[in-house]
Copies of this chain bind each other. A is one copy, B any other.
Amino acid sequence: MPSTRRNSAPTLEDVAEIAGVSRALVSLVMRDSPRVSIESRRRVTAAAAKLGYRPNLMARNLASRKTMTIGVLLNDLHNPWFAEVTDGIHAAAERHGYQLILASGRRSARLESRAVDTFLASRVDGVIVAGCRLPVARLESVAAEVALVSVGRAFNKSGIGTVTTDDADGARMAVEHLHELGHRRIAHIDGGKGAGAAPRRAGYLRTMRVLGLGDTAQVITGDFTEEAGAHGVERLLRGGVLPTAIFTANDLSAVGAIDVIERGGLVVPDDIAVVGFDNTSLAALNHIGLTTIDQPRREMGAVAATMLIDAINDRDELTAVLMSPSLVVRRTTARLLPNRL
């Protein structure tokens, strides 16, 4: 037999016997109840330490009918955006004594659905889904069983809490920034059907119109990937008159766009300026130095967790929270050179 692991952990009963008290008392000590005498507490603690006792969470949760845990479903572990949102969730949950169990949907709605099933089967007290791809109907049925908050994707269904960035306003900031730098021909490589893509595109189009640039607005279809950014620029290069600036749906696409621009012998930002979206760690790399729209990701996570916990404890309703984006200027945007007017 390869294993030398013990096959049965000590239980409350074992501790009670050694300490010479009842099971109930041990349970009280384990839960830090104030109404236990110093002496009893000492003896129980000593017995527990001696045995290496550790309360069985499943038994505890089963008996107490609550788990004090939140299930967090992350759509894609590979995207730093999720790590940052999770940091915020973690911090808020910890403050309220809640634990987290994470699951990765690995970009697949099917896997996301399975992960949510596991959460429900584990009777988590609440669920947070980040960048989730599940159909609204499914989420509604989940929300019927457990408190649910979505981060990064909005629903105008009641019963589902929502924390998103004002994507349209972020797009406005990007376009206005470029406009102030003198740019007039500003193209947008969008995020297709991805979460948040629609309002970013709409914000771009609206702002272009407001600035009187409606007729030079140009949307290239993308999908939030590096390749999408690259292909988008290739298409622009093949097309007629080049834009002097490009606003992409996210940072990753911006990096792909910059790459193709530079390979085409053009210079960023002098020939073409580029603005991304998200302000992921990628954008902050000095080597890239991307001007982008920041989302308060940590804060979004914290707000989502706090709202969820309040709802779990019936202190508050689940609502829709809209966070404010902000412009982060780095080195991929600059004033339009006079000769390019």
Contact = CB atoms under 8 A, between A and B. Distances in A.
Interface of A: 1-6, 9, 52, 54-59, 61-62, 67, 76-78, 80, 82-84, 86-87, 90, 99-104, 106, 117-118, 120-123, 144-147, 159, 226, 230, 255-256, 258-259, 262, 281-282, 285-288, 311, 314, 316-318
Given A62-B62, A256-B286, A104 B90 contact: yes
A151 to B, nearest CB: 15
Contacts of A55: 121
Contact of A314 (B1, B83, B122): B1
A56 B62 CA distance: 9
Contacts of A67: 58
A58 B122 contact: yes
Nearest to A52: B145
30 contacts: A2-B311, A2-B316, A2-B317, A3-B311, A5-B147, A6-B145, A9-B123, A9-B145, A54-B117, A54-B120, A54-B121, A56-B121, A57-B118, A57-B122, A57-B123, A58-B58, A58-B61, A58-B67, A78-B80, A78-B83, A83-B104, A87-B106, A90-B104, A101-B101, A230-B286, A255-B285, A255-B287, A258-B287, A259-B285, A287-B287
Contacts of A102: 101-104
B287 A259 contact: yes
A230 to B, nearest CB: 7
A146 B6 CA distance: 8
Nearest to A252: B285
A57 B104 contact: no
A87 B105 CA distance: 10
Contacts of A103: 100-102
Given A56-B123, A62-B62, A259-B287, 20 more contacts: A2-B318, A3-B311, A5-B145, A52-B145, A54-B120, A54-B121, A55-B121, A57-B118, A58-B58, A58-B62, A58-B123, A76-B83, A83-B104, A90-B104, A90-B106, A99-B118, A102-B102, A258-B287, A259-B285, A287-B288
B58 A314 contact: no
A290 to B, nearest CB: 10
Contacts of A82: 77
A4 B320 CA distance: 18
